[in-house]
Chains A and B, each alone.
Chain A
Amino acid sequence: MSLEITNISKSYKSRAGDVQALTPTTFSVAPGDFVSLVGPSGCGKSTMLYITAGLESADSGTVELNGRRVTGPDRSRGMVFQGYTLMPWLTVEQNVKFAHRLDANIDYEVPIAETLTHQAYADKLIDIVGLSDFRRRLPRELSGGMKQRVAIARALANKPEILLMDEPFGALDAQTREEMQELMLLLSIHERTTVLFVTHDVEEALYLSSRVLVFSSRPGRIVDEIQIPFGSNRSLDIKLAPEFLSLKRRVLDQLHHSGGRTLNREAILTRLRESNLQTK
């Protein structure tokens, strides 16, 4: 077993008292798995990810990665964030190789495979994500999608045991998002990366994952677990397949039933009728 999450819970203090963000939650991620956490905003799925990264503490429970208890952030768990998190003073190449500047990575010239050094691996990743012509560019000269590609390459270049991704494509336009999804899928399969992925986009989760965990709204808990039946060479077209759509239906129904919606069709129609607006 790669990642073991056991009874992790978390609540926040607010003026109205304690707010439970996450009820005790247990799941695991096997090596090579691509597991997505989907759920409405505020369901604690991002909290779960930050606790796994070691960037936030849990109230109870444990996180173990390959038998080691997680107590804080380190290079075993790489992370891609929702916002653009490139160091703005560094070029694309310097950003991807940022970890080489850190003491923890003093062994970077040591080969990771028979002939491949970390340096060379980082260079290859820049090529793979399609940024070889942009090596010397600064982040301010890149589009949003390019920035996230750099962030992904940067996280992978560190050869993490698991890659944590927090709504990495949330800020991108629909078309760029699909490109990024395809890149991420192929990359994770090719590099056999273990991924824990957080998103509120059901389609994205179904397309990318080998397994999807559906979270209820606050307090978050897992309400469904879906093994994705599609093979690893799925294309974007699969999003239109009947099987895909029925899975999407299933998740969306669960999200709607689990509450958390403050706006629904009936309520809006009622209010429109009642307000009796005489505009035009």
Chain B
Amino acid sequence: MSDGRGKFGRAMRLLHPRQPLNRPLKAAGALLGFLLFIAAWQVLSGHYAQKGQAVLFPSPAAVGGAALDYLGKGPKTEKRVLAAREDAATPAEADLAELKIREKARESLEILSGDLKISFQRVLIAFLLATIIGVPLGLFIGAFHWFESILQPVTEFIRYVPVPALIPLLIVLFGIDEAPKVMLIFIGTVLQLILMTSDEVRRVPMDLLQVCYTLGGKASEVVTKVMLPAALPGIFDALRLCNGWAWTWLIVAELVAANEGMGYRIVKYQRFLDTERIFVYLIVLGLVGLTIDLLFRLMNRHFFRWAATDKR
């Protein structure tokens, strides 16, 4: 113990539950996880390549190459440039051909950013709607039993209707523009948000409400000045989780009926058997989700320092 190695000695410690891990080891763990993931990917793609079906499941390197092609620096772009230059009769013609190829690469990057933009917009609108409607409803359900008795059973019921089953109805009602996609994401997240918000509000200790009353607080003040601020970190965390679901429902909506957006493009690439680009899109989706999640975590830590649990 006094040698600073903790209760069980350095190596054995990992075998005991809840033993803390230092920062370098944690980072090493994360790195190892990603390496294992890429190794498994490599093995799997090798398996397909052996059967001559490399196109069905591209290797990490091929996907990396495809990603570089989006930036106009990938192997395929260079190959095309080289071929075009060889075919060209004059240097001027060769330059023109190269320019065209590079222009094409830039165009596909523009398509990607356009898809990301429209998808992000859909998620954002639906997410804001869900927050504006879900958080107050959750607060009321968590605060007032009579409100809970009216709304809780019916929201529970709707929550168990599988959201994708609503797509045909949404298309009938809202057409195929933005509205049905936003509605699908909204319905998919708002009910979860109501449920989680009300749970957080219910968890606020009765003692705190009673303190407010004995200091002269009115019922409305108990809700707005005690229950809401006390539940806020939990509500913020619920929003973070809802963001994850929002992106899931977005793709579902775009797979069915859309003419731009991340989900739409993935289906399109499927038709062309362009699995490399599908992988690029998947990676972009993962990175966007991770970034937003990280932002939520940082904001949570910044705004709600008082609620941070001490790491042990």
A89 to B208, CA, bound (A): 12
Interface assignment of A99: CB less than 8 Å from any CB of chain B: yes
Interface mask (A83-105 → B, CB under 8 Å = 1, otherwise 0): 10101110000000011011111
* B214 contacts chain A at the CB level, 8 A cutoff: yes
| Interfacial chain B residues near A158, Cβ < 8 Å | 215-216
B251 beta carbon closer than 8 Å to chain A: no
Contact bitstring B206-232, A, C-beta under 8 A = 1, else 0? 011011111111100100011001101
CA–CA, A164 and B215, complex, Å: 12
| B: contact size bracket | 20 to 34
User: A99 contacts which chain B residues (CB < 8 A)?
Assistant: 215-216
Contacts A102-B217, A102-B225; A89 near B230 (Cβ below 8 A)? yes
Nearest-CB residue, chain B, relative to A55: B210
Residue of B nearest to A157 (CB): B215
> Cβ of B29 < 8 Å from any Cβ of A?
no
Smallest CB-CB separation from B225: which chain A residue? Answer: A101
Choose from A54, A78, A87 the contact partner of B226 (Cβ within 8 Å): A87
Query: A81 interface residue, CB < 8 Å from B?
Result: yes
| B307/A88 in contact, CB under 8 A | yes
Complex Cα gap A102–B216 (Å) = 7
A75 touches B214 (CB 8 A): yes
CB of B160 within 8 Å of the partner chain: no
Given A102-B221, A138-B306; A78-B207 close (CB under 8 Å): no
Looking at chain B's contact residues, is the secondary structure mostly helix, strand, loop, or mixed?
helix
| B208 lies within 8 A of A73 (CB) | no
- Please tell me if the beta carbons of B306 and A73 are within 8 angstroms of each other in the complex: no
Return the contact of B214 from the options A55, A105, A139 (Cβ within 8 A): A55
Q: How far is the CA of A24 from the CA of B310 in the complex (A)?
A: 48
Is B305 an interface residue, CB under 8 A from the partner?
yes
Partner of B216, one of A55, A85, A105: A105
CA–CA, A74 and B217, complex, Å = 7
Chain A residues whose C-beta falls within 8 Å of the C-beta of B307 in the assembled complex: 88-89
Pick from B207, B214, B225: contact of A73, CB below 8 A: B214
A155 partner residues in chain B, CB cutoff 8 A: 214-215
A193 to chain B, nearest CB (A): 15
The smallest beta-carbon distance between A252 and chain B, in angstroms, is 30
Q: Answer whether residue B286 sits at the interface, using C-beta atoms and an 8 A cutoff.
A: no
**For chains A and B in complex, what number of residue pairs have CB atoms within 8 angstroms?**
78
Any B CB within 8 A of the CB of A147: no
Residue of A nearest to B219 (CB): A72
- Is A85's CB under 8 angstroms from B306's CB? no
Chain A residues lying within 8 Å of B174, measured Cβ to Cβ, are none
Residue in B closest to A89 when the chains form the complex, CB atoms: B306
Shortest CB distance B220–A (Å): 9
Asked whether A140 is an interface residue with its Cβ less than 8 Å from the other chain, the reply is yes
Provide the bound-state CA to CA distance between A79 and B215, in Å: 8
CB within 8 Å for A87 and B213 given contacts A102-B218, A102-B221: no
Q: With A89-B229, A89-B307 given, is the CB distance from A78 to B221 under 8 Å?
A: no
A77 at the B interface (CB under 8 A): yes
Is residue B304 within 8 Å, beta carbon to beta carbon, of the partner chain? Answer: yes
Question: Is B20 part of the contact surface with A, judged by Cβ < 8 Å?
Answer: no
> Which residue from B205, B208, B221, B304 sits with its C-beta under 8 Å from A103?
B221
- For A10, what are the chain B residues with a Cβ–Cβ distance below 8 Å? none
Q: Chain B nearest CB: distance from A3 CB in Å?
A: 15
Known: A81-B207, A85-B207, A85-B211. A75 touches B216 (CB 8 A): yes
- Say how far B87's CB is from chain A's closest CB, in angstroms: 70
Q: How far is the CA of A87 from the CA of B208 in the complex (A)?
A: 7
Q: Which of B204-263 contact A (CB under 8 A)?
A: 205, 207-208, 210-218, 221, 225-226, 229-230, 232
Identity of the chain A residue whose Cβ is nearest the Cβ of B222 in the assembled complex: A102
Knowing A83-B207, A89-B306, A103-B221 are in contact, say whether A77-B214 is a contact too (CB < 8 A): yes
Is the beta-carbon distance between B306 and A102 smaller than 8 angstroms?
no
| Max count, chain B CB within 10 A of own CB: residue among A54, A101, A102 | A102
CB atoms of A102 and B212 under 8 A apart:
yes
Interface string of B276-312 (1 = CB under 8 A from A): 0000000000000000000000000000111100000
Residue on B with the closest CB to A160? Answer: B214
Chain B residues with CB below 8 A from A75, complex form: 214-216
A154 within 8 Å of B (CB atoms): yes
In the bound complex, CA of A187 to CA of B307 (Å): 32
Known contacts A89-B229, A104-B217, A138-B306, then 7 further A-B pairs from the complex at CB < 8 Å, ordered by chain A residue: A72-B213, A81-B210, A85-B210, A102-B215, A102-B221, A138-B305, A164-B214
9 contacts between A and B (CB under 8 A): A75-B215, A89-B229, A98-B212, A102-B218, A103-B221, A104-B218, A105-B216, A138-B306, A154-B215
Of all A-B residue pairs in the complex, the 8 with the closest CB atoms, nearest first, are: A75-B216, A104-B216, A73-B213, A79-B214, A99-B215, A85-B207, A89-B306, A85-B211
